Amino acid sequence: MGKTALELLIFDLDGTLIESKWDIAASVNLALEELGVPQRPVEEIFGFVGDGVKKLLRLAVGEHNRVSFEDALSVFRRHYLAHCLDRTVFYPGVEKTLGHFSDKRKAVATNKSIEYTNVILRGLGPQYFEVVVGGDNGFGLKPEPGMLLHIMERLNVSKDRTVLVGDSTNDINGGHNAGIRVCAVGYGMGNREKMAACQPDWFIERPEELMEIFE
């Protein structure tokens, strides 16, 4: 089977490019402790990641605690900015894959706040991406297609020459809502069965497999 021609690769961030769940969970628990709210098992916090920081904090703080969302956000923000590069790294194979596609256009579309996203990418490898869009840039959160449509428009690349790579149902549904093909990754934080049910165009277990699919 021949490889698929491609001009633009749009990547999700957490669970797709970067292994970030440990720093997120540690920062959430530091924030909960400071707010006087019971800390949560890290595995539980992992399950909250993917819909943006607002949902993450609402789930972590819980409905019954009288902590204002603004307080929770400011405390979490302080801890996460201090710790977001403690253990966060590109997944094995990501840099090799990004280097392989050096002649392709590459972007990041994440539901994560652009502030954290920029700090992490500056620390790990900003040179790989032409455009980076975060969840608070005003284009909505995936599965809404806004940030994906914005990236294609800004880079002037057509839908049929673009693919989204991500590890969640938000990514798969977002890509399909934007009219582009989607490659799901099985090594991230997403639920495999739920992702498969969304019918991604491809499903890979290692970042390097992208090299085998796209020319």
Residue range 21-83 in CATH 1.10.8: no
Within the chain, all domains assigned CATH 1.10.150 are found at 21-83
Within the chain, all domains assigned CATH 3.40.50.1000 are found at 8-19+89-213
CA distance 203 to 193: 12
Annotation marks residue 12 as catalytic: yes
The catalytic residue among 12, 23, 167, 171 is: 12
Question: What pLDDT digit, counting tens, does each position of 31-57 carry?
Answer: 999 999 999 999 999 988 878 888 999
Residue 85 reports pLDDT greater than 70: yes
pTM assigned to the model: 0.95
Does 143 sit behind a cis peptide bond, omega within 30 degrees of 0 on the bond before it? yes
CA distance 157 to 143: 20
Q: What is the pLDDT of residue 160?
A: 97
Domain range 8-19+89-213, CATH architecture: 3-Layer(aba) Sandwich (3.40)
